[in-house]
Chain A
Amino acid sequence: MNEQNEQDRVIRKWLQDEYNSIEIPDPSPAWDKVRIQLERRRRHKKLRSRMAILAAVVAAALMINAAATISISKTYAQMSSLLQEVRDYLVEIFFTKEAFDHSAAVTAPPAPDEAEHAALPEEVSLEAAQAKLGFSLLVPAAMPDRYSLDRVRIFQEEDGEYRNAYLEYASSDQHIVKISQHVISPGSTRVKSDISASAGDIQQVWIGGSQGVLIIVPEGYATLEWLTEDGIKISISGKLNVQELMRVAESLH
């Protein structure tokens, strides 16, 4: 046993001497490789976060579209086009009345940007807008007192019809609330909204009987978009808290 213990002692000393004699080299080359891995991990983490927001927005958009088309197959048919439109930090929500089937079209549809910029803006009074627009212009009855109507713009499209309207409300401290209204008629090109993928909190809400997308950003701004039963895409955005925003939306008449 003593011999065993002695052997143990010797081995322990030898091994500890050998262990302690190991020189630890400069870790700089290893750090250079690890630094690159850490940067890659950070990029992947950012991408995963954006994709999570995108998934939430896509889900919300699908629900809006489902309400508009009342057809699950058409809803899912548009999902791929929705995803294809994601660019860098922007997520585009599409509001449509029916699926796009271009196979029978003689002329190719215009690119989305071209369609949007085709209309000419006119600044008019509220009464003139109500007279010219091809739909009933909705006006809020419950705008916060600090805001007053500052500007009304309507857009005439190539066919001479007015299908777009913007109401701008301004406050004394120069904040603006915008209410846009856009008719989506059957067969029209896609109407879309751009939302930053890092915008903030995205929620589904109900306005009357219609589902909408509410986006709350940290700086006190919020945007609400939905499609009414009459096929009008409405968007309200500006420096409003959620309660004010919902009251404005529900008071539109």
Chain B
Amino acid sequence: MEQWFYLLQSPLDELDTKIQELVFRSFYQFVYRDILFMVRDHSLAEDIIQEAFIKAITKGPQMRSCANIPAWIKQVTRNTALDHLRKLKRDRQILVESFVHRGDTAFEEISVTSEVEVRERDKLLYQAMAELKSDYRQVLLLFYIEGRPYRDICKELGMSEPVLTQRLARARKKLLQHFLRKWADNHE
């Protein structure tokens, strides 16, 4: 495990500024992709990371020495992201429009090659993801990106396996629906 994980178990407030910066930068790199995957907005992702970092250094010294620190960090940050999303009650349509705009700009620059289709697929997938509820994005992240087993995910989210199975199925279905609609629109 990298050194900076252990530093979170120390009272970081009392350490040198350079060490604090090292820990923060490492923390940022560690969680950024997860959070952007969930919230789809860079500014919001940064706010969430800052808030989660403060929570982590506050609670870190209370952690047991045998704790799984990386998993704990990810969980704290994800929960902070969910809190923000629920608080904001962000309008998904606004998000979609901003991503569609970005997608259009990128699409104009693309020349016709197989790599283009891959990029196009990723862009449309990105847009489709943005249209999903944050709860769906969360389970997709935990299952497909982190590769966590059902039991772990159920424990973290406080739900039963049947409920998780159903949520994952709906998340997949919605993602494919959004994606395929966009793909069809783009190729009419």
Chain A residues in the interface with B (C-beta under 8 A): 7-8, 11-12, 14-22, 24-25, 27, 29-31, 33-35, 37-38, 41-42, 45
B5 contacts chain A at the CB level, 8 A cutoff: no
B106 to chain A, nearest CB (A): 12
How many A-B contacts at CB < 8 Å in the complex?
A: 74
State the CA gap A16–B34 with chains docked (Å): 11
Chain B residues in the interface with A (C-beta under 8 A): 12-14, 17, 20-21, 24-25, 28-29, 32-33, 36-37, 42, 46, 49-50, 53-54, 118, 121-122, 125-126, 129, 140-141, 144-145, 172, 175-176
Name the B residues within 8 Å of A38 (CB-CB).
Answer: 12-13, 17, 20
A22-B33, A30-B49, A30-B50 known; A14-B13 Cβ under 8 A: no
A11-B175, A31-B25 known; A19-B54 Cβ under 8 A: no
A11-B172, A30-B50 known; A18-B13 Cβ under 8 A: no
State the CA gap A18–B46 with chains docked (Å): 19
Name the B residues within 8 Å of A35 (CB-CB).
Answer: 17, 20-21
Task: Point out the residue from B12, B29, B144 that lies within 8 Å of A27, measured CB to CB.
Answer: B29
Q: Which residue of A lies closest to B32 (CB)?
A: A24
Pair A18/B129 contact, Cβ less than 8 Å: yes
B45 to chain A, nearest CB (A): 9
Name the B residues within 8 Å of A33 (CB-CB).
Answer: 50
Pair B21/A18 contact, Cβ less than 8 Å: no
Name the A residues within 8 Å of B126 (CB-CB).
Answer: 18
Pair A27/B28 contact, Cβ less than 8 Å: yes
Name the B residues within 8 Å of A41 (CB-CB).
Answer: 13, 54
Pair B29/A24 contact, Cβ less than 8 Å: yes
Name the A residues within 8 Å of B37 (CB-CB).
Answer: 18-19, 22
Pair B32/A37 contact, Cβ less than 8 Å: no
Q: Which residue of A lies closest to B27 (CB)?
A: A27
Q: Which residue of B lies closest to A17 (CB)?
A: B122
State the CA gap A45–B13 with chains docked (Å): 9
State the CA gap A16–B122 with chains docked (Å): 10
Pair B172/A18 contact, Cβ less than 8 Å: no
Q: Which residue of A lies closest to B46 (CB)?
A: A30
B41 to chain A, nearest CB (A): 12
B87 to chain A, nearest CB (A): 19
Name the A residues within 8 Å of B14 (CB-CB).
Answer: 42
Name the A residues within 8 Å of B129 (CB-CB).
Answer: 15, 18
- Can you list 14 A-B pairs, Cβ within 8 angstroms, ordered by A? A11-B144, A12-B144, A14-B125, A15-B140, A17-B118, A18-B37, A18-B126, A19-B37, A25-B42, A30-B50, A34-B53, A35-B20, A37-B54, A42-B14
Name the A residues within 8 Å of B144 (CB-CB).
Answer: 11-12, 15-16
Pair A30/B21 contact, Cβ less than 8 Å: no
Pair B24/A31 contact, Cβ less than 8 Å: yes
Pair B145/A15 contact, Cβ less than 8 Å: yes
State the CA gap A27–B50 with chains docked (Å): 10
A31 to chain B, nearest CB (A): 5
A116 to chain B, nearest CB (A): 39
Pair B33/A24 contact, Cβ less than 8 Å: yes
A37 to chain B, nearest CB (A): 6
Name the B residues within 8 Å of A17 (CB-CB).
Answer: 118, 122
Name the A residues within 8 Å of B13 (CB-CB).
Answer: 38, 41-42, 45
Pair B21/A31 contact, Cβ less than 8 Å: yes
Name the B residues within 8 Å of A19 (CB-CB).
Answer: 33, 37, 141, 145
A41 to chain B, nearest CB (A): 5
State the CA gap A17–B119 with chains docked (Å): 10
State the CA gap A11–B13 with chains docked (Å): 42
Q: Which residue of A lies closest to B145 (CB)?
A: A19
Sorted nearest first, the 7 A-B pairs with minimum C-beta distance are: A27-B28, A15-B144, A22-B33, A12-B144, A24-B32, A30-B46, A19-B145
A38 to chain B, nearest CB (A): 6
State the CA gap A130–B46 with chains docked (Å): 74
Name the A residues within 8 Å of B141 (CB-CB).
Answer: 19
